[in-house]
Amino acid sequence: MDKLKHLTRVRAHVGGKDPASCLAECKYAIEAALDATGKARASMSDANHFLYLVKAGQIFVAGGGNLLDGLKKIDAPVLLITSDDDLIFPPDAVNQTAQMIKSDGTLVEQVKIKGGRGHLDGVYAIDQAGDRIVEFLGRK
């Protein structure tokens, strides 16, 4: 949990300034990291590449072949973290996936987070699910 808090709450120093005195121009450490990663990826890809990447994620079939058969192969407990604003993995699709995984008795839990950034809420607002993630991973 400490690492999660660090990534989402620690403000990066800008030009040696105290983060408390530069709230407008200072970014959270995770924002700075995402911006740097985005700039690096943008130089090597275009919008079509991004769209193909999103589509590949949407049509990926766990275990290959038929989606239901692939999801039935999951026998470990599952924690799904969703955002109502996610357009890449919309809530209805995630709920259907959860039902398919549950269909053979596999434990599935869901946590909703809010942030208004769609799919990126899973990065920017993940701290909302932090306690549930720690609790889920701490089970035996």
Indicate the number of domains in the chain: 2
H helix intervals, the chain: 2-9, 29-42, 47-59, 67-72, 91-102, 121-124, 130-137
Sign of CA dihedral 34, 39, 40, 44: positive
The single-letter code of the amino acid at 20 is A
- Is this model's pTM higher than 0.95 or not? no
% of the chain with per-residue pLDDT over 70: 82
Residues 129 and 66 in one domain: yes
| Closest listed residue to residue 86, CA positions, set 42, 34, 135, 124 | 124
User: Per residue in 34-71, pLDDT tens?
Assistant: 788 778 777 777 778 778 877 887 777 766 678 888 88
> 10: domain range?
1-44
Residue 14: per-residue pLDDT: 56
Residue 102 lies in a domain: yes
For residue 95, what is the domain's CATH number? 3.40.50
